């Protein structure tokens, strides 16, 4: 049961947090992306298949809740989830500094794929939300690394 409950709870909390952030101030959903946090958490704790599946679900949910183009977020988050799970299985990304850099690289990669797909497929100019979208990889890496740090402390693991 826990196998399905944890991902479902994570996706539900991401939807709620996304809605709350949007209600507080719309620029917050540009900077903070709770869907990416869920994808990265599941990818690093359950490997690449869970990362890819959660990336698809979270990306499509984010697309449906936003005004953007449907499907592009799903593809970019699927690639990010798979890459996070695959690479984390091959190298040790548990230490905080290494985890922070790894998560930052993944978040930048996801943002780059997302923007490139929108630009290439639809010919839309790359909108940066007055530069706020450039803070998203930093915020994603900091929050996700902090979540892993808290998780490790609660479970009593070292790293």
**pLDDT given at position 27:** 84
Q: Residue 154: pLDDT band by 50, 70, 90 thresholds?
A: confident
The domain that holds 10 is classified in CATH as 1.10.1760
In a domain? residue 36: yes
Q: Residue 16: pLDDT band by 50, 70, 90 thresholds?
A: very high
The Cα 95–Cα 115 span in angstroms is 30
In a domain? residue 158: no
The Cα 17–Cα 65 span in angstroms is 12
Q: Domain range spanning residue 100?
A: 2-153
The Cα 80–Cα 48 span in angstroms is 9
Spatial contact of 33 and 140, defined as CB atoms under 8 Å apart? yes
CA-to-CA dists, residue 68 to 5, 82, 96, angstroms: 29, 23, 33
In a domain? residue 88: yes
pTM of the model: 0.89
In a domain? residue 148: yes
Question: Tell me: the pLDDT tens digits for 55-114?
Answer: 999 999 998 988 777 888 899 999 999 999 999 999 998 888 999 999 999 999 999 998
Per the structure, how many domains does the chain have?
Answer: 1
Mean pLDDT of all residues in 141-159: 84
In a domain? residue 159: no
Q: Which is higher by pLDDT, 92 or 133?
A: 92
In a domain? residue 92: yes
The Cα 43–Cα 60 span in angstroms is 17
């Amino acid at each position: 049961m826990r196998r399905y409950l944890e991902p479902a709870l994570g996706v539900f909390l991401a939807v709620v947090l996304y809605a709350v952030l949007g209600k507080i101030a719309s620029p917050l959903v540009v900077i903070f992306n709770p869907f990416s946090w869920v994808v990265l958490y599941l990818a690093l704790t359950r490997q690449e298949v869970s990362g890819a599946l959660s990336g698809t679900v979270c990306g499509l949910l984010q697309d449906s809740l936003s005004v953007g183009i449907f499907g592009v977020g799903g593809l970019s988050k699927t690639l990010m989830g798979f890459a996070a799970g695959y690479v984390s299985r091959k190298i040790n990304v548990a230490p905080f500094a290494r985890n922070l850099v790894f998560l930052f690289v993944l978040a930048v990669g996801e943002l780059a794929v997302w923007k490139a797909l929108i630009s290439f497929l639809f010919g839309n100019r790359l909108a940066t939300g007055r530069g706020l979208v450039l803070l998203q990889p930093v915020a994603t890496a900091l929050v996700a690394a902090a979540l892993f740090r808290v998780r490790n402390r609660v479970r009593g693991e070292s790293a």
